[in-house]
Structure 1
């Protein structure tokens, strides 16, 4: 009875008032009650894009689990624009990378420690919500340990329930769920979780929950099915640019692929953590190691040494004024990390990195959720050969129709910038002169693609 010790007179004379206050401060999620006086901290600043309404800070999604977000309204007609969520991959990659380096409203140039507006921001056409997840990623903090996409999906759902309770005017908007790379695991699992919850709401099996108006999903450089997408040998020989290894090393890759595929098959067959961990080790060290140890081309962009953008924006996120303005808890988060390797290794230790999410993608398609896959033609680690084959292999009602679909040229301002293979509810896009981080390498074309996508729905 801490409250009673602090305020004995008030407590004794106003029991009914106190009861009523506590009742108002209680928010019910999934038949569980949380007192909403925990650690929510939301601010509104004029940083990054001063011309739009924005909110940032923390939502407390569970005891000692504080998820950071930064939201920007659309620059044009926000009340009638959709809402797009962006979560970065990794696992353990902060969505601040996507905000400043890919699809967000501002860029940080060089060492200036100042931001300037991005003319190719996706908030030209949509409200944008960036979320650092799972807990421990970017500015999010807490003792909560998330090791799988299923656990991450539960947390994201709790976050969205709180977000829409606090900002109800956004709850009715069409929601587009976007990510990249390991988002090929995150997004299908999270979107399936949303659909299942929506179905429970529709049948009155759960109450006092806000339905989420999921309209579509989009994933760049999607890591969905290792068994299909790890067959790198054809891309190594026949990519758009040049062969990446000599014939002897290609032969060695063929030999190591046999071992890698055997271990992946064991992972798929048993679904045991030890089998999937073994597959991850065999495929990364023995098979992929041939490329990483012998090629001058980057895993993330074969036109460069690495393909990973220089994190020039991180110095901006060390500025105390910036951190205070966007609501960062600098007592708990003393330094911004673009990538939290600890989270990556936690996921790896469950074996999840080598499991497939094909069935979850198929679930979305069977439930009429449109999906956009887009991949840069210079990406090695999630190359377009494997991504195209993965998309073609999906078993759903338009499987054969997609299999028969051919690539069509895609132009922007009269220039050919990629190729699109599509049927209703499923697009696969090859983006020219782009690596793993497509919106970073081709910002204008990525905005055009996103705009074309949402207009098609």
Structure 2
């Protein structure tokens, strides 16, 4: 899930969509620190062993997870944590409509194995976070995390318990923290929190609880101003990420002229936002950028118009432009037999928790960048960063992602863009060797080292 475009994620151009959210923690909630159950192929024929369960973060909240072993070599293959975007998109969205081993059939009552999955060569854990979405329960909706710091505390507690008590074999193994869209914020912010805490523990002579090896950002949201100014690059240049054959812009001269004129102001306000990390300044920046540079894209995000997430498709129904929010996957996880196997009963499950999304908006944290956190990781840790971007994503464009990365000081970047092998190196200060930008169309990548 994404969060942009005049229809910033789950918002319509006219305002917030109606709130939909999970019910509070039930009285029957297990007082044990965690519960876990190995699942059978009738729920998902994953091609490997897999488990579901919950980890109690406090007495008032618990985090739900899926753990799929690698189809290849689970004892030695990488260990990944996956977070969907939003805010408010569940792990089930990423698992069953994304990178997981199964997909729900059109009948909404069964699943099928996918030939290709991240679990082909990795052990992957999908979670419902922030707690309060999906099957992750919370006693008081007002306690839902609405900032990266709040969410990071829950993630640290979850991973600590998971690695030492639920699956002790994880202890000491390197983690790869991954996520898409808003996951760009989660991955960067949470990894920074974890690494900072582990460095403090090391300074006190304590062994690390969580060993983060890399951060993987898929079509990730990092900085709102670059996203907005990137609309001009996407729609108004001859750049074609698929065939390099575009001969004319995708919008008319009037629209492109107005967008070009608005870009400098948008970028200037973005610079003030990055410098200050002031929520109100960043909100003002986002409002200005979307009303100017993003105006024409927003107006054309309508039935038959632009699909914000794939320029090759036309929009079915905004703001999401598809029916996955209440399609067969949503239907599947509301089946009584499915919930029973997962340890729930009668929970009104939603793939996308709009109430949580709205709470982030109201808390004014949604449009803060994570550029400071990204730079901190580059300057103070050995965490490797992999950025993957789809060429046809309008909101999270390849060009704006590259600009974002090049703007981070103290790094060397070796970039492969648009499927071409003519890479370039740009030094922005002190040498660093841990950012990789990969074009998923060609699979070609290179890394500065």
TM-score by length of 2: 0.78
d(CA) in 2 for partners of 1:147, 1:199: 25
Match of 1:353 in 2: 366
Superposition pairs for residues 55-454 of structure 1, below 5 Å? Answer: 55-111=51-107, 113-142=109-138, 143=140, 144-164=143-163, 165-204=165-204, 211-231=209-229, 232-238=231-237, 239-240=239-240, 243-258=249-264, 260-261=266-267, 263-294=269-300, 296-306=305-315, 310-311=323-324, 312-327=328-343, 329-330=344-345, 334-366=347-379, 367-398=381-412, 402=414, 407=417, 409=419, 424-432=433-441
Alpha-carbon distance in 2 for matches of 1:163, 1:92: 22
After alignment, is 353-362 or 125-134 more displaced?
Answer: 353-362
* Pair 1:203–1:171, CA change in 2 (3 A): same
- Following superposition, the deviation at residue 228 of structure 1 comes to 2.5
Consecutive unaligned residues in structure 1, runs of 5 or more: 1-35, 411-417, 433-444
Moved more, 43-52 or 89-98: 43-52
Larger Rg: 1
CA deviations on 1:333-384 (whole Å, 9 max, x unpaired) are x222111122222222233222221221122223121111111111110101
* Equivalent residues of 1:408, 1:421 under 8 A apart: no
Which residue of 12, 23, 44 maps to 1:48? 44
Assess if the C-alpha contact under 8 Å between 2:391 and 2:418 holds in 1. Answer: no
**In the alignment, is residue 37 of structure 1 matched against residue 31 of structure 2?**
yes
Question: For the residues of structure 2 that align with 1:308 and 1:421, how far apart are their CA atoms?
Answer: 36
**TM-superposed deviation, 1:50:** 5.6
Kept in 1: contact 2:330–2:349 (CA 8 A):
yes
Report the aligned-residue RMSD.
2.9
- Structure 1 CA distance for aligned equivalents of residues 218 and 400 of structure 2: 13
Q: Unaligned regions of 5+ residues in structure 2, if any?
A: 1-29, 241-245, 426-431
Structure 1 CA distance for aligned equivalents of residues 336 and 264 of structure 2: 52
Shift in alpha-carbon separation, 1:431–1:125, aligned structure 2, 3 A: closer
* Structure 1 residues 112 and 133: CA distance shift in structure 2, 3 A: closer
Aligned length: 389
Asked if structure 2 preserves the Cα contact closer than 8 Å seen for 1:245 and 1:294, the reply is: no
Question: Where is the helix percentage greater, Structure 1 or Structure 2?
Answer: 1
User: CA deviation digits over 1:56-91, x for unaligned, max 9?
Assistant: 121111231111111111122211222111001111
